[in-house]
Amino acid sequence: MATVIKDLNMNFDGYHALKNINLTINDGEFVAILGPSGCGKTTLLRLLAGFLKPTGGVIKIDNSVVADSKKITSPNKRNIGMVFQSYALWPHMTVKQQVTFPMQHSIFSKYKTQKNREERTDAVLKLVNMQAMGDRYPSELSGGQKQRVAIARALANEPDLLLMDEPLSNLDAQLKIEMRREISNLHKNVGGTVLYVTHDQSEALGMADKIVVMSQGEIQQIGTPKEIFYNPVNPFVARFVGQSNLIRGSWDGNEFTYGEGEKITDYEVNDSFKAENLYPVKADGLEIVGQNESHFRGIVKEVEFQGFQNKIILEMQDNNHLQVFGAADEEIRQGEMYGVRIKKRKNMEI
């Protein structure tokens, strides 16, 4: 049931929205496509759904070609489900009618009799905890409830591939976290392949088996959440997903010089950082020292107490801002100058 995307390209009147996308989505996987708005992630999703025809490349679902530059299989002839960003619930149908709809009309429907469909509708509504609201119209539902109905509708016909287009972006923060947990659980319980588009890195990191980071129509990195977070391959991924500080300096082989002559040697930094003379380091990979103990100095702009730790923002001498975690009991005074050092990693040679 794998979905294979090969050399996919999409042009809109001269605007190159997708450039040579290659991606395999395995059966049962939860894949998140992560990127800022305008990176092409929604275009990719719409190509998979069949609403757009690619200008180049091939999409195969289960070894049969569903789209290339000449021909596409229309959405109703692909066995897919989709949760829209706006939910797209039909205002003139009740919750039950929405959920039954795909079973009635899809050529892939496994539920041929009215009784089968009713049972399935009840089962799916139970799954999303909406069994009591079956006769309501969308206008009578809250945001979170609409969301659940949209998911129930997408799941009803047991699609081979479930597409989700920023499904949580219209919910408030509390509901977002709740629904995130529910979608994860749903995936664990129901199985099935999910492609989840989002611009929120915490959603991607928290739910996905595999993350695809995109920017400007290109895939930047594919990997597990841990790989993406800890080993970003380029400055974009480091900034967007890893919440890394990027320290300016200069590379000479594996030796990085920063501040006024501070040096560190690291064998694991990707060449793309070296090309831009940057060093990626997380907030917990830095330590604050007295201003005479380091040649890399800055003024503390903000100290935010976070319970277990302090989050400290420094403005460095090169006007770069750094984020550093410090121990909660360590006293750092706002407005004063401190030195900053990159901590040694366990497997790092000095």
Partner 1 sequence: MSENKIRRYIKYAVGTAFVFLLFLWPLLNMFSEAFIAKDEGFTFAYFANVLSDAGFAKVITNTLLINICSMVSAGIVGVFLAYVMAYTDIAFKNILHKLLLIPLFIPSYIVTLAWMQLCMKNGLLYQLTHFELYSYKGIILMFTVCQYPIVYLMCLSHFRRIPRELEQAAVVSGCGRVKAFFKVVLPITKITIVNAMLLVFLSCLDNFGIVAFIGIPANINVLSTDIYKTIVSSTKDSYNIAAVKGIVLSVLAVIMMLATQWLSGNNKAENCEKEDMEPRIMLGKWKFVLAGVMSCFIGMFNIFPLIKLVSSALTKGQGVKLSLKTMCFDNFFKVLRNVKSMNGIKNSIFLALMAVLLCTVIGITISYLSEYKKDRIASGIQAVVTFPYSIPGIILGLAMILTYAGSFHGFTIYGTIWILLLSYVIRFTAVSLRYANSAFAQLDTSMDEAAQISGANNYVKWKKVIIPLSIGTISAGMGLVMIYSMMELTTSSLLWSGGTETIGVVIFNFTSAGLSNMASAYSSIIMIGVCAVAVLLKVIDKSVRTIRRR
Give residues in contact with partner 1 (CB under 8 A).
49-51, 70, 74-76, 80-82, 84-86, 88-92, 101-102, 105-109, 153-154, 157, 163
Taking the mean position of all CA atoms in its chain, how far away is CA 59? 21
Query: Whose CA is closest to 251, among 230, 280, 231, 284?
Result: 280
Residue closer to partner 1, measured from CB, 49 or 219: 49
Shortest Å, Cβ 162 to partner 1: 10
**CB-CB contact of 128 with 151 (8 Å):** yes
* CB-nearer residue toward partner 1: 84 or 274: 84
As measured in angstroms, the least distance from the Cβ of 92 to partner 1 is 5
Helix, strand or coil, per DSSP, at residue 91: coil
**154 or 241: whose CB is closer to partner 1?**
154
Tokens, residue 284: 């917990």
Quickly list H helices, the chain.
41-49, 95-105, 114-127, 143-156, 173-190, 201-207, 225-230, 235-240, 271-275
Residue pair 242/213 in contact by the 8 Å Cβ criterion: no
Closer Cβ to partner 1, 76 or 254, answer by number: 76
Q: How far is the CB of 89 from partner 1 (least distance, A)?
A: 8
Q: What count of other Cβ atoms lies within 10 Å of the Cβ of residue 318?
A: 12
Least distance CB 88 / partner 1 (angstroms): 4
Residue number with CB closer to partner 1 (136 or 263): 136
For strand 56-61 and strand 64-67, is the pairing parallel, antiparallel, or unpaired? antiparallel
Closest CB to partner 1 among residues 51, 230: 51
C-alpha span between 181 and 158 (Å, rounded) = 20
With respect to partner 1, which residue has the nearer C-beta, 92 or 188? 92
Q: Where are the alpha helices (DSSP H) in 57-137?
A: 95-105, 114-127
* CB of 106 vs partner 1, minimal distance in Å: 2
CA angle 336, 341, 347 (to 5 degrees): 160
Burial per residue of 227-263, b for 16 or more beta-carbon CB atoms within 10 angstroms, e otherwise = ebbebbbbbbbbebbbebbbbebebeeeebbbbeebe
The nearest distance, CB 332 to partner 1, in angstroms, is 44
Kindly state the smallest distance separating residue 341's Cβ from partner 1, in Å.
52
